[in-house]
Structure 1
Amino acid sequence: MRVDAQRNRDHLLAVAGPVVAERGIDVSMRDIARRAGVGLATLLRHFPTREALLEGLLHASFGDLTTRASELETAHTAEDALAFWVRDCVAWTTEYRGVTVLMAAAIEDPESALHASCVTLRAAGARLLARAQAAGTARDDLDGDDLFALMAMLAWAGDQPALAPRADHLFDLVTSAVLTRADGDRGTGARRAI
């Protein structure tokens, strides 16, 4: 990509990020172009669909969360690593109101611009879940798809103004349902730390 084209793309993303965070994923592409000081055609040349724009905005975050999974895997117990990572993912998804709905759809749609990133994120979670299952600290009847769905549900709840005050409590309930302790103690570890 030419330097000026990359600069234009970066400018569009820099403007779009705060607009999407403020107004949600349904914000008009025309409004984003207007705020960026470009025509709609210019925005669409760089990002032909809303999903392409969101993928551009979210790409680095997906990578960061995948890297974070690896870091947690080496620095914490299997139980703590899984709980910390799920907490990080849920917190991140609330940054862009409504993105959870798109991610849930994209994971099943190979044609979606977000599909590859969502699949990578799901795989990172599945790896942490499998590690916790092997350690005997997570239910063995869950898989990566279930974990991704649970994270989407928690993120959706946190995105709803009426439910947001209950988000931490709901997270603790779901975490308690997913994580088990070999010694039967449900009040220790990552759930208390997060």
Structure 2
Amino acid sequence: MANRTGTYVAFDGLGEKDPTKSDFRYYSTIQAWSANKNIKFSLTNSHEKTDAVRDTSKRTTLYARIQERLKSSKNMLVILTKKTRFTGSVLSYEIEQAIDTYKIPLIIAYPEFSSILNVESHSDIWPKALAERINNTGVEAIHIAFAKDCIMDAITRFHVNGEHLSDGKNYYNRDAQIKWGLIR
């Protein structure tokens, strides 16, 4: 296995050409946090470790690049919203590969929710690939709010060489979420 140091960020582009109309905006937020010297947030972005893929690239080229990036990733940050498609997006392929082939822990972030205390209550927005795998033995995932401190904690703790998660339905306890200001 390659040197696994990156975090692979996955989201549904929703078939949009305009990134501001898709979940790409959340990926852009993470990039901005990481680039800002005044914000304590550091991300080794797996997408920056390989050549860029254009929207016009063939699917085989895209899938090969995804596999290359996943091979060097220690974890995957999956961004899910109410618009995330159940099937038909590249996100499904990314989740399948991360879990089935590369055994990468998932950090599942929900931008539309301020806190996550009941994982099952969000199952209606899980893509089919995630829904089919989340209860399987060996799947490691933590479900979190899309909040800088929460994401940073999860990225640094839960990865192939870090702390292991008990199953696919973990979340931070109420006290941790209060500490981060997610629950008042």
**Same-fold call, TM > 0.5?**
no
Please identify which structure carries the higher helix content.
1
